[in-house]
């Protein structure tokens, strides 16, 4: 593995495809000092400030980190990393984690506007009770494997999910699946129905007032499979499309190659959104359950 001073880098214990990056205390302290120049309002209102915090992070590594993170995400064999503080301290609070997540993503690309939150990132809770209209915040139902950005016009090359905080949580593990590990990839990628245009829409809470059309599967520059799929939002036009989606969903959920891992508080999963699917297992019931997440999705610089 590559060595970057101030970081501990290894293969993640759950998969050879996932790189684990721990940020050492001394690095966190330097970052915290640098980040304190800006409050969250500046980060939210002034897009250039987001690049300044990203540069603070990269400067600590002689600009090695940005190159490494981009290499991981573009490499078909990996395409995913988990990054976070080695230790949680009073310095690594929620404000710091928003700034850190901003810094990391701005070394990779430009974030898309998150319509649900009305800014470039979204913070949201999963709790015992939920009255929302999508699976995202339903604690006691699996959030099935999917990719992000399926129902928007924005290009969504990558996504980041940061766990800001959690209390009284059992279950709710992260679930990841790489297309090249999935047993039925060839069969479904080669099914002509998967290359037809599907209509994708979304419920009210997403604040997206249009529908988009695209296939489930498409090829990358090397002819390898890529996917854009989520179970809740396609509107099958006929029986063939309906049955194809059911087969796809059943096959993804029954895959033995799913990676199931508990993301530490303060850490983020960042993944290529074309060949990694992500989801979440259901939580164990607890009336005081609370998990806060942050998400950012976006496109690569080039």
Residue 114 or residue 148: which is nearer to Fe ion going by CB?
A: 148
Minimum Å distance from CB 2 to Fe ion? Answer: 28
Minimum Å distance from CB 43 to Fe ion? Answer: 23
**Residues binding Fe ion (CB under 5 A):** 148
Q: Which single residue brings its beta carbon nearest to Fe ion? A: 148
- In sequence order, the 6+-apart residues with CB closer than 8 A to the CB of 69 are 81, 104, 107, 108, 270
Is the CB of residue 141 less than 8 Å from the CB of residue 171? no
Alpha-carbon distance of 100 to 280, in angstroms, equals 23
Residue 127 or residue 146: which is nearer to Fe ion going by CB?
A: 146
234 φ, ψ (degrees, to nearest 5): -75, 150
> What pairs with residue 218 in β-bridges?
226
Residue 269 or residue 289: which is nearer to Fe ion going by CB?
A: 269
Residue 56 or residue 151: which is nearer to Fe ion going by CB?
A: 151
Minimum Å distance from CB 184 to Fe ion? Answer: 21
Residue 160 or residue 188: which is nearer to Fe ion going by CB?
A: 160
Residue 113 or residue 237: which is nearer to Fe ion going by CB?
A: 113
Alpha-carbon distance of 142 to 279, in angstroms, equals 8
Sheet with 212-214, strands from edge to edge, namely 212-214, 198-200, 234-235
Q: In the structure, how many helices (H) and strands (E) does the chain have?
A: 7, 17
98 φ, ψ (degrees, to nearest 5): -65, -45
Minimum Å distance from CB 198 to Fe ion? Answer: 18
Minimum Å distance from CB 278 to Fe ion? Answer: 6
Minimum Å distance from CB 42 to Fe ion? Answer: 28
Minimum Å distance from CB 44 to Fe ion? Answer: 22
State the DSSP string of 263-287: PPTT-EEEEETTTEEEEEPPBPP-T
Decide: residue 223, CB within 10 A, 0-12 exposed, 13-18 middle, 19+ buried.
Answer: exposed
Minimum Å distance from CB 259 to Fe ion? Answer: 15
Distances (CA, A) of 300 to 18, 66, 156, 292: 19, 12, 9, 26
Residue 185 or residue 269: which is nearer to Fe ion going by CB?
A: 269
DSSP state for residue 28 in the 8-state scheme = H
Residue 60 or residue 268: which is nearer to Fe ion going by CB?
A: 268
Alpha-carbon distance of 226 to 268, in angstroms, equals 23
């Amino acid at each position: 593995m590559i060595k970057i001073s101030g970081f501990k880098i290894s293969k993640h214990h759950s998969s050879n495809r996932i790189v684990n990056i721990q940020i050492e205390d001394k690095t966190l302290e330097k970052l915290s000092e640098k980040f304190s120049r800006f409050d969250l309002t500046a980060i939210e209102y002034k897009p250039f400030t987001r690049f300044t915090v990203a540069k603070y992070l990269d400067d600590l590594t002689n600009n090695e980190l940005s190159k490494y993170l981009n290499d991981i995400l573009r490499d078909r064999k990996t395409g995913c990393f988990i990054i976070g503080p080695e230790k949680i301290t009073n310095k690594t609070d929620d404000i710091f984690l928003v700034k850190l997540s901003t810094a990391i993503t701005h070394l990779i690309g430009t974030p898309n506007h998150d319509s649900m939150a009305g800014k470039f990132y979204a913070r949201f809770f999963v709790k015992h009770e939920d009255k929302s209209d999508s699976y995202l915040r339903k604690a006691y139902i699996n959030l099935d494997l999917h990719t992000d950005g399926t129902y928007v016009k924005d290009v969504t090359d990558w996504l980041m999910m940061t766990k800001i905080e959690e209390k009284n949580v059992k279950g709710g593990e992260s679930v990841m699946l790489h297309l090249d590990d999935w047993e039925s990839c060839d069969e479904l990628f080669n099914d002509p129905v998967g290359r037809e245009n599907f209509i994708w829409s979304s419920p009210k809470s997403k604040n997206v007032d249009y529908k988009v059309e695209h296939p489930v599967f498409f090829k990358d520059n090397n002819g390898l499979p890529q996917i854009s799929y989520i179970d809740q939002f396609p509107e099958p036009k006929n029986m063939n499309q309906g049955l194809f989606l059911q087969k796809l969903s059943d096959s993804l959920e029954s895959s033995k190659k799913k990676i199931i891992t508990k993301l530490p508080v303060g850490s983020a999963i960042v993944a290529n959104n074309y060949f990694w699917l992500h989801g979440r297992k259901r939580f164990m019931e607890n009336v005081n359950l609370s998990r806060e997440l942050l998400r950012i999705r976006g496109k690569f610089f080039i």
